[in-house]
Structure 1
Amino acid sequence: MSYVLGIDGGGSKTVCIVMDDRHKIIGRGQAGAANYQSIGKAAALKSIEAAIYQAANEALKLTNSVTITSLCLGLAGVARAEDIKIVKDIVKELKNNQSLPIIWDLQPSNIVICNDALIALVGGIGHAVGIVVAVGTGSIVFGRNSQGETKRVGGWGYILGDEGSAYQIAVAGMQAALKAYDGREKHTRLVEDFTQHLSLASIEDLIEVIYRRGWGVKEIAALAPIVDLAAASGDEVANHLIDDAVQELAKATSTVIEGSFNSDSNFEIVTTGSVWRGKCKMQERFNKSIVKKYPHVNIIFPRYEPAYGAGLLALQRLIEKQ
């Protein structure tokens, strides 16, 4: 029997699944980040190889050999022609790696290279029509209609975009705390919450934490739950920040709907990412905003993981070539 590989290469981890033609996963592996634009091509390749190695070895417990006839790589940051070329080079190196316990029977036409938003959509819904609102460290809204037309909004990174993301919520929370400390804005418990969480002598010490410790996007984004918990406790300022984030995401989603779907058509929106799992009912606020304007839309949590979506796309490519 032949199999396909579905690979989800994100900014924090890489997941690979080995899938048979009945959509059954027989092997799964996980490794480090695979966003080559932030960690480099060599490091991304290493993560992908490690995830494949683990998944293939797990699959070998159920079968004598793992022959791969199709492959889908959904990687963070893949959008331009030059990105596709780099990922094609990564696939070549994978095929030349003799240490991987895989038999390659892979035609160039059976290689699917796409961004991680598409595999999140396909995995989350179970097919390739609908919208994914992915909100974790960063944010992006991506849609695909029944004609195969796609549209993305956001995903421009923490400096140029990522509205509604954990990073933006955390930064807005710290800014609000400092404004309150200055007396420029009304008091918020965020002053005390950031001070306590970071073991600071004073909120003024945020300067040392943010500017002098070399904190990056992930470390800052990890502070978003402080804002979430403050909002859940009823803090007015924190709730205002969460509402702002929700409205940005609702606006981005509306833009995708208006650009790709009939506003009165039935389709699903899947929400993925860590931000939706907070305590302040951000998911409910988002749902209310969208359904009020588009009552025919069904908003869901993911049915499957993105790597599963990549596997489905790899199988679909095989079917299309038959």
Structure 2
Amino acid sequence: MSAYHVAVGLDAGGSKTQLAAEWEGPSERISRRGPAANPSRVGMDHSAQVLSALVKEALQARRPIGRLAVCAGVAGAGRPDEQRVLADRLRQELVDEAGAVAVEVVHDACIALDAAFGSESGLVIIAGTGSVVLARTRAETTHRVGGWGHLLGDPGSGHAVGRAGLRAVAAAFDGGDGTVLRARMAEAYGVDERSALHHKVYQEDLPLQDVAPLVVEAAADGDPVAMDILTSQVDDLLRQVEWLLREAEDVAPRIALLGGMLQNEHYAAVLRRALADRVPDWSVEVVREEPVVGAVRRARRLEE
């Protein structure tokens, strides 16, 4: 029996991990989904275990494997030293799965670039649980702004929008501006008084990104507080686009949008309008391919 060549892409975001694997020869492709594997939150060892377990599970579909190429786009692995460590650990976990194993770990924004533009130039804005702006120039250099994580940055992300919404509810309890977010938090989470809000956030660890849809919906319905939150968050995100374009010259004038926040039509419309004001001559499109497709493309290039 001949051995197969397999390219595996992994998209390890803030809330889940997606896998896509392609076999050379039978032209088979499979998908898997697993838990989050952000090393800054779960640790490097656990991240490697989650990713390698997903790959091993996928490889059961067809064996033997002669050559295995893996590209993992990982949120929370933005520094080269982190990427090298995680790549080495993944390689060690997978060394017995194939005759030859090649592993690349990059920031998850990098695979979004490949999903949007292949190896060509362009700029991507990612707004999911976190946020980041990334561009590739025509000279094939890559520039990134943001991606600092929820403690230091991530404007326009689900985490940041949700946090701002909860702060607005807390302010309303204190006598600040009234907002429908207060009633919607009561309906969605039973938060109808100060102590309930405090308990939900600090004792039950309410995922802040889960509150973001309530904020966007309230903004779409015309709530002034929610509208201000959304406008402010989008402005902060697009300020990062401006910073990147000052640094990175000769980027093809096209922007791809992706991430869970863009699945909300109102959020996407607010972001598009702001982009039309800031970069009126640039094309703007929502990425049609999932980022994990970009990871598979990069894995294929590891075999070249």
- The question of a shared fold, defined as TM-score above 0.5 by the shorter chain, is answered with yes
Q: What are the within-5 Å matches in structure 2 for residues 35-184 of structure 1?
A: 35-58=38-61, 60=62, 65-96=64-95, 98=96, 102-106=97-101, 110-184=102-176
Structure 1 gap ranges (5+)? none
Number of matched residues?
Answer: 300
Instruction: Specify the SS of the correspondent of 2:151.
Output: helix
1:195·1:203 contact (CA, 8 Å) conserved in 2? Answer: no
Corresponding position: 1:268 with 2:254 = yes
1:298 to 283, 287, 292: 283
CA distance in 1, matches of 2:195, 2:94: 53
Instruction: Specify the SS of the correspondent of 1:158.
Output: coil
Corresponding position: 1:241 with 2:216 = no
- Moved >4 Å (runs of 4+): none
Q: What amino acid is aligned across from residue 105 of structure 1 in structure 2?
A: A
The one-character-per-residue Cα deviations of 1:47-69 (angstroms, maximum 9, x if unpaired) are: 112221232233x2xxx633325
Deviation at residue 15 of structure 1 after TM alignment? 2.3
1:266·1:296 contact (CA, 8 Å) conserved in 2? Answer: no
Q: What are the within-5 Å matches in structure 2 for residues 180-199 of structure 1?
A: 180-185=172-177, 187-199=178-190
Instruction: Specify the SS of the correspondent of 1:4.
Output: strand
1:126·1:304 contact (CA, 8 Å) conserved in 2? Answer: no
Q: What amino acid is aligned across from residue 64 of structure 2 in structure 1?
A: S
> Against the structure 1 CA distance between its residues 74 and 25, is the aligned structure 2 distance closer, same or farther, given a 3 Å change threshold?
farther
CA distance in 2, matches of 1:302, 1:54: 28
1:170·1:220 contact (CA, 8 Å) conserved in 2? Answer: yes
The residue number in structure 1 matching 2:302 is 317
Structure 2 gap ranges (5+)? none
Instruction: Specify the SS of the correspondent of 2:231.
Output: helix
CA distance in 2, matches of 1:299, 1:57: 40
1:125·1:304 contact (CA, 8 Å) conserved in 2? Answer: no
> Against the structure 1 CA distance between its residues 28 and 191, is the aligned structure 2 distance closer, same or farther, given a 3 Å change threshold?
closer
The one-character-per-residue Cα deviations of 1:11-50 (angstroms, maximum 9, x if unpaired) are: 322222222569x662322222222221123322221122
Instruction: Specify the SS of the correspondent of 1:164.
Output: coil
Q: Which moved more, 1:288-297 or 1:153-162?
A: 288-297
2:73·2:107 contact (CA, 8 Å) conserved in 1? Answer: yes
2:52·2:94 contact (CA, 8 Å) conserved in 1? Answer: no
CA distance in 1, matches of 2:81, 2:104: 15
1:15·1:307 contact (CA, 8 Å) conserved in 2? Answer: yes
Q: TM-score of the superposition, structure 1-length normalised?
A: 0.84
1:225 to 213, 230, 233: 213
The residue number in structure 2 matching 1:3 is 6
Q: What amino acid is aligned across from residue 152 of structure 2 in structure 1?
A: L
> Against the structure 1 CA distance between its residues 90 and 181, is the aligned structure 2 distance closer, same or farther, given a 3 Å change threshold?
same
CA distance in 2, matches of 1:220, 1:36: 19
